[in-house]
Each structure stands twice: as C-alpha cells, then as structure tokens.
Amino acid sequence: MSFEEMWAALRPVGRDAETGGYHRFAWTPAEVECRSWFADEARRRDLEIETDPNGNLFAWWFPPGNGRGDAVVTGSHLDSVPGGGAFDGPLGIVSAFAAIDLLRERGVRPSRPIGVAAFAEEEGARFGVACLGSRLLTGAIAPYRARGLRDRDGRTLADVLTGHGLDPERIGPDEGLLSRIGCYVELHVEQGRALDAPVGVASAIVPHGRWRFDLAGEGNHAGTTRLKDRRDPMLPFARLVLAAREAAERNGTLTTVGRVEVAPNGVNAVPSAVTAWLDGRGPADDAVRRTVAEVHEAALRAAREHGVGVELAEESYTEVVDFDVPLRDRLAAVLGGVPVLPTGAGHDAGILASRVPTAMLFVRNPTGVSHAPAEHADAEDCLAGVEALTTVLKELAGG
Ligand code: GLV
Ligand code: MN
Ligand code: MN
C-alpha cells in the first residue's frame, strides 16, 4: 500500500461526515479500527506486532543477523481530540510505514531494528491525561492513578483495558521494552504557522499542562430563586474564563478553557456544579505556574462572593522538553539544513525524551490550524516528509 492508499484507507474512520472532524478516542470502535489497520499494515510488511502492557502498539522490522535491541523507533498516535484533524498522529504512522517501504525498495539493509509505534491515548481526550501510553511506559504516571482515571461515562481505564484483553494490573513502566529503544524520532504535522518549508526539525516543546476546576454550588429553580439566595457556580466559572485570558496576557502564556461540564445542564435550573478544564502553556515553567495560580486566585475570589466551593486538580504537567541536541543537529544536517523550531504542542516524543535520545520532524501545515477539521498538509509536503523520514532512518539505522 502506498502512502496515498494508506491515507485513503484511514480517511473515513471516525470522521464526522458533516464537519469533517475526527472522533477517534482511545479504545472506542473508531480507534480500535485504526489499530486493526495498523496491524494489517504491519502484517503486509512482515513486521512483528507487539502490544505492550500499556496498550501501545509496535511493529518491528528485525533485520536478520542483528539483535533486537538498540532499535530506531518512529511513529506517533492514532487517537484524536474531539472533532480533530486528519493529520495529528496518523501522519507520523502512515509516513513510517511508507518510509520502511522506501528503504526496502532502495535495498537498504539496516543494521539496527526499526520499530513503528502507535502510542495509546496521546490526546488524553478520553481519560484526561495527555500521552497516557507513553507516560505509563516511561513511569511518568503512577499505574494506580492511571487505573482509576475515568472517561465521560464514568468508566475507569482499568475496566476499559480489561474489556480489550489487557491486564490493568500489568500497566506501568516497562524497562525491558525501553531498554530495546535506542532512539525515537516522531514525524508530526506542524500545528501552527511556524514552519515555512516542507519539513523541519523540532528543538523543544514548551511547558504545558491541564488543570480541572470543580465549582460546587446549589441547584435550584430558575424562576423562583431570588438572585441574592443563589449559589450559582456559573458566575465564578465566567470569571475564571476571563481571568484565564487576562493572566495569559500578563504572563506571556497561553490559556484555553476548551471543555466545560454543567450539572444538571437544564435551561430552567440554576446549576449545582460546573467543572472546567484549563489548558495552560508558556515559554517557561514559572510563567505557566504563575498563570495558573492567578486564575485559581480569581476563581476563589469570585466563588467566595457567590457562596460556591472551588477545588483545583492538576491532571497533567510536562516541563520544558529540549530535544537531544546532537541528534537534532544530526537530523537537520542530513536533511540539508532544514529549519529547527520549537512547538507549543505536546507529543509522546516529549515524554520519551526523558528516557531515550529523541527528536521530531515536522511537516508544514499551510492552514496553521490544528485540533480542528481545517488542519492540513499538502500531499507534496507529506511525501517530502516520508522522504525525510526515510533519510533519517537510513542515517540512524545504517545500511
Ligand atoms: C496535543 O496535541 C496537545 O498539544 O495537547
Ligand atoms: Mn494533538
Ligand atoms: Mn499529535
């Protein structure tokens, strides 16, 4: 299957026909269909399929006569945000299979194994914690905490994994697997307007995290409850959203309140509870931390005024990631001096980087839009990405 054929096969999976957005949440039928697509592509190429205890998928090319360690791993993820674009995640995996085809066509016999990875729940769209599969693999999240994470229907990760034949008691760091990974290179669509060339190399990922605010008030009748008698959590929530924007402006950071749940969510009821998720990112840890503290302070003040309770929980946080400098420079050089740029988007590569030399390749995104249907990469740039990944794999795996 060529790049174009693989792309066409994945295109309809989990796609909303009206909006063109993708809904591929970890372990839901659409994502499971993507996983079987992955297994089919691996089998088609005689790659050895491995599902690790954390639900991450690997397809291995073990060249005969060489060991199974010191592998060059590439890949990305198959899950999406709600209504996401087609490229965020799958581009890295389709490109990886296509690059293996090119290496073989060109008679390259690697001296190191090459692995294609599909990390589970990268977006955290179902269980709330971004890069869950790679965090578990590297020990960046405690297994007991992960087991208890719940999706929007209240199902725990432990239950969902059990339903897919995985043992929740076995999730967690996998030193054996990690010790076989010599380096990781993730190809990804660029997610802003920062890349003005077909392909670039990542320098860093800025600090980023997610925080949940639970605002608890008192549910009551919209027509009979006097304003002064209300304990309406929607009011401090409104203040929180504005405070997030103001704190971002003050601190030179980015804040987004992109998800909110209101109970009971009735038009004629004063809400009893509001839960809001804050995504915060910025150039430095202290700026992000200060931003969140200021939003918290504003929410507490507004909540006190309205007799509402506030609880704040940090769901995930990733400090600044500086990718391995020798590896990054080697890739930029072998690709002929392509641009080297940081990103504000999170990736499994950012998690793997704490344990193995890691790098990223970016493919130009002419719309500058991501996590939305307009996310795009031109076919020509995608093929340039495959070519670049092929060059990189040959450089690193030898042959
Ligand atoms: C993942 O794409 C993120 O940056 O949230
Ligand atoms: Mn994403
Ligand atoms: Mn991604």
C-alpha distances in Å from residue 239, one per residue of 76, 226, 230, 245: 37, 21, 16, 10
Which residue's CA lies nearest to atom 3 of ligand 1?
Answer: 346
Total tally of structural domains belonging to the chain: 2
pLDDT in tens, 179-233: 999 999 999 999 999 999 999 999 999 999 999 999 999 999 999 999 999 999 9
Please tell me whether residues 213 and 187 are part of one structural domain.
no
Per-residue HEC secondary structure of 154-215 comes to CCEHHHHHHHCCCCHHHCCCCHHHHHHEEEEEEEEECCCCCCCCCEEEEEEECCEEEEEEEE
Ligand 2 centroid to Cα of residue 222, in Å, is 39
Separation CA 20–CA 28 (nearest Å): 18
Please tell me whether residues 189 and 212 are part of one structural domain.
no
Indicate whether residue 321 lines ligand 1 (CB < 6 A): no
Please tell me whether residues 181 and 221 are part of one structural domain.
no
Determine the 3-state secondary structure of 316 from DSSP: strand
Indicate whether residue 130 lines ligand 1 (CB < 6 A): yes
Terminal Cα-to-Cα distance of the chain (whole angstroms):
23
Strands (E), 244-391: 254-263, 269-270, 273-281, 309-318, 321-322, 340-343, 358-363
36: containing domain: 3-205+320-397
pLDDT of residue 246: 98
Separation CA 235–CA 272 (nearest Å): 12
pLDDT in tens, 137-172: 999 999 999 999 999 999 999 999 999 999 999 999
Residue 331 has pLDDT above 80, yes or no: yes
Atom of ligand 1 nearest to the CA of 281: 4
Please tell me whether residues 54 and 119 are part of one structural domain.
yes
Domain termination residue (choose one: 318, 337, 354): 318
The CATH number of residue 158's host domain is 3.40.630.10
Q: How confident is the model at residue 65 (pLDDT cuts 50, 70, 90)?
A: confident
The CATH number of residue 311's host domain is 3.30.70.360
Please tell me whether residues 384 and 290 are part of one structural domain.
no
Please tell me whether residues 91 and 12 are part of one structural domain.
yes
Indicate whether residue 254 lines ligand 1 (CB < 6 A): no
Burial class (CB in 10 A: 0-12, 13-18, 19+), 124: buried
Mean predicted confidence (pLDDT) in 369-395 = 98
Mean predicted confidence (pLDDT) in 290-316 = 98
Atom of ligand 1 nearest to the CA of 191: 2
Indicate whether residue 351 lines ligand 1 (CB < 6 A): no
Separation CA 395–CA 399 (nearest Å): 8
Please tell me whether residues 178 and 327 are part of one structural domain.
yes
Please tell me whether residues 227 and 240 are part of one structural domain.
yes
Please tell me whether residues 130 and 259 are part of one structural domain.
no
Ligand 2 centroid to Cα of residue 223, in Å, is 42
Indicate whether residue 233 lines ligand 1 (CB < 6 A): no
pLDDT of residue 28: 98
pLDDT of residue 389: 98
pLDDT of residue 367: 95
Please tell me whether residues 312 and 361 are part of one structural domain.
no
Please tell me whether residues 33 and 130 are part of one structural domain.
yes
User: What sections of 306-377 are H helices per DSSP?
Assistant: 325-334, 348-352
Domain termination residue (choose one: 318, 348, 374): 318
Indicate whether residue 346 lines ligand 1 (CB < 6 A): yes
Domain termination residue (choose one: 318, 348, 383): 318
pLDDT of residue 324: 97
C-alpha distances in Å from residue 342, one per residue of 133, 189, 292, 328, 336: 23, 13, 22, 12, 19
Please tell me whether residues 178 and 50 are part of one structural domain.
yes
pTM value? 0.96
C-alpha distances in Å from residue 332, one per residue of 43, 214, 294, 340, 362: 32, 45, 39, 7, 11
Q: Indicate the top mutation candidate among 76, 81, 348 to test ligand 1's pocket, ranked by most ligand atoms within 8 A of CB.
A: 81
Separation CA 100–CA 38 (nearest Å): 14
Compute and round to an integer the Cα radius of gyration of the chain: 22
pLDDT of residue 399: 73
DSSP annotation of 68: S
Q: Indicate the top mutation candidate among 127, 321, 347, 365 to test ligand 1's pocket, ranked by most ligand atoms within 8 A of CB.
A: 347
Residue 343: CB partners within 8 Å, gap ≥ 6? 190, 191, 192, 194, 202, 204, 205, 206, 360, 362
Ligand 3 centroid to Cα of residue 220, in Å, is 42
Residue 262 has pLDDT above 90, yes or no: yes
